[in-house]
Structure formats: structure tokens, C-alpha cells
Amino acid sequence: MIPVQGYRGRSVAVLGLGRSGLATARALQAGGATALVWDDSAEAREAAEGQGMILYDLTRANAWDDVAALIVSPGIPHLYPEPNKIIAAAWAAGVPVDNDIGLFFRSFATQDWDNFDVTPRIIAVTGSNGKSTTAALIHHILAEAGRPTQLAGNIGRGVLDIDPAHDGEVVVLELSSYQTDLARALTPDVAVFTNLSPDHLDRHAGMGGYFAAKRRLFAEGGPDRAVIGIDEPEGQYLANQMVYTLSDDRVIRVSVEHKLKGAGWNVFARKGFLAETRKDRQLASIDLREIVGLPGSHNHQNACAAYAACRAIGVGPKQIEGALRSFKGLPHRSQVIAEKDGVRFVNDSKATNVDSAAKALQAFKNIRWIAGGLGKEGGIESLALHLVNVEKAYLIGHSARDFALQLGDTPYEICETMDRAVASAAAEASAGDTVLLAPAAASFDQYPNFEKRGDDFITCVQANLKN
């Protein structure tokens, strides 16, 4: 646990009692503060009270008397589509509002560091797609290279729930736009921007607000090194904002669409080969094509970003290459579940929007595509150019019929449920085919989250392979 600094002897309110809220309350108490907790859910309040937390009704009059700050869980909207009423009340009372990410960056460094030979560092990863895989891959590379490391944030443990830093440790954080948007302190040593595509637009009032939330990690964080994917205009803009000269190597530019040139520091992948260049000289090259845990161009982008982040803190190319080859991938992200009679089954349940689904559809050939769920604005119309590898679509969930109208000439079947979709796709697949779950939709019509949807896919695949 990271004891929160700066509130000893004071009362701090915590709104939202999920994983991060409870961890925040415990970390505040460990730092000598009094944590006053609240959640709209009576069940969550009861569970927190059972853990010894102090319930404090933040909806009552005069709730803000003697409250030093309000710490908000990331899932609670603070501005758009409209301010949460409790947060608005805190604003009106002049109470500072922060989140656990802000508390972490304020509290991570301690006087114990004066005795360390190597100062601990933080690598923070944000972006629309691939940030979980990139963060996990950085963590894996560091561990394989013998560096002490922890993984936290939007993946794994809550940031305040990790252990205090060891000598020379590197903490890898995955940070969503929800987390970067509100944090009052953002000071990573290395910041990584993977890419940008439309997502969470209601929460940020459009693409401009969404990008602005991501940009805060760089513009306000002032990292020593920035790894920036430049395959979208926003990434190009961000990289340009961070450099002062053509040869400024504080920025490492990353691409899977262009061979990068110039006097700066570049990492790019072309035709399955990763290359690192610096001052117009190639320093390293890695063949990514046969790395099972990183299939497709989108994973090559993740590999480039992770490679660049690790190079930024001194890990050697050969160490990174060995770790890339031993990386097994993350659950629900281009995860190879099984292969039988030449048919491969791949779980990409995390592909909850059309951009991530497009990347999955480009990664494989002869696809039996399971898609659908709670569709997002625009459906799958923009995927038309990426259907050339699809032999047939098997549609599930709330948006199955809407998706069917947007498939053009691609054959499809309305299956509605996962078990029917898997059974039909497996029965019709032949050697060389890939049965791919890449829903291009949210899961909430049939499942509590994308993980449960992916688990159901795995269960259905395993059941079919036994038959």
C-alpha cells in the first residue's frame, strides 16, 4: 500500500466504493487521514461499513464542513455529460476534487529514496487501443530483464494498492482518459501514447475533450521521455508539441504505417519488422512475424511502444527481443484459445469498438467472425473496407440485426447467443480458418463486462472441441 501524504489529521471524502475507492480509503487511513466514504449503492455502503470504513452521507446539507478534499472514483462523471451532483456540491463549497492517480503521484516518493542507489521510476501508458497490452508487455520485458517492477492502474492492482518502491524499481501504469482527466498530479518519468480513436465521447464531450484528457499526461506531466504513436494527427501534434529541435531525443516517435526518418529517435514496424533508428542510424531490428503472443499490425504497434519505453530507461535491444518472444499476450486481446484440425480460435473480446475490431480483422485470414453486442454510434459501417478476410459473420446480442444491415455482401447468420455462434462457426470452419471473437460492441446487453463475454467464448469453444 502507498500511504497518502499531505492529509495527516484531516478528513478526506471518498466517492465511489469500487476497487479503487476502497483502496484509496485504506491508503488515506494509512497516511494518517480520516477517510469518509460514500456510494450511491446501499449494497456498496454496507460492504464498506463491514470493512470498518466510516460512512459519511455526502448528499446532506453541510456535508463539506471540515472536509479537506473529495477523492472520486474514475467511473463517476465529473463534468460531461453533466457534473455529478456531489462533485458539483464540492466545487460550490470550494473543496478540491482529485482522484487516486493524483494522490499516487503526490505520495509515491518518500524519504526512503534517499538511501536508494537507483531512483525508482514510473512509466505511464495511455491511448485508445493497445494500452493494456503495451503496459503488460513493458512490465514483462522489465521482469525478464531482471528489473524490479510492478504493474497497476487500469490493469492489475489499484495504484494505491501496490507496494512501496524498492531500490531501482519501475512501476508501469495503464491510465485511461477517466483517470488522467481529473488527476491533480501527473509526473511519470516516461509517458506513452499508443494511438487515438473515438471512444468515451459522451464522457468527454467529443474527440477534442477526449484527446485533451490524454494529452494532460504529457503537457502537465512533463515526462523525461515521451513515446508517442504518430499514425493519427493527434499523435503528430502531440509529438511536435514536445520537441524543440529536429534531433530532440526526449520524444521517441512510433509508427506501424510509415518508415520513420530524421535525426530524432524513432521506432517503427514495416512488413513485420521492428526497427529502431536514432540520428539517422539504424540501431536494431526485430522480426515480429512469428511471435505468437503479438499477432497483427496492432500488436506490432504495441511492441514498438513497449520497446521504445524500455529503451528509454536503458534496457538493451537483445533483452527486449527475448522478452517479446516469451510474451504470451493478455486474456481477451487477440488471445489464441485453441487450434484443432487447422482451425484457430481467437478471443478478442476487448475489441469493443470498430477501430479495435478493424485491427483484429486485419491480423488474420479466412475469418469466421463473431460480432455484436451493444453497438455504438454508427454501428460497424466503417468496417466495410476490413471485411475482405471475413468468410462469414455470426452475429450476437442486441445489435445483431443492425449489424447485419451493414455487412454488404458478406455472408452472415443471426445467432443471437454466444453458444450458437461458436457452434455454427466451428461446424462450418475448415483448415486455415480462424474463428474470431471481435465484437465491435460493448458487452452490457448480455454480460457484465467484456471479460465475462470472453470467458463465455472460451467455455463455448472448449465445449465444441470436446464433441
Which residues sit in the known binding site? 127-133
> On the CB side of 453, how many CA atoms lie within 13 Å of its CA?
31
| Binding residue ranges for ATP | 127-133
Least Cα distance to 259 among 275, 246, 245, 279 occurs for: 275
**Cell digits for 281?**
542510424
**Angle at the Cα of 181 (from 179 to 184), degrees rounded to 5?**
90
Tell me whether residue 131 is exposed, middle or buried, using C-beta atoms within 10 angstroms of its C-beta: 0 to 12, 13 to 18, 19 or more.
buried
Write the CB contacts of 46 (distance below 8 Å, at least 6 apart in sequence): none
* Pairs from 144-150 (Cβ < 8 Å, separation ≥ 24): 144/319, 144/322, 144/323, 144/326, 145/310, 145/315, 145/316, 145/319, 145/320, 145/323, 147/315
- In Å, what is the CA distance from 1 to each residue of 134, 162, 336, 355? 24, 5, 35, 36
Amino acid symbol at 182: L
Least Cα distance to 108 among 50, 160, 36, 32 occurs for: 160
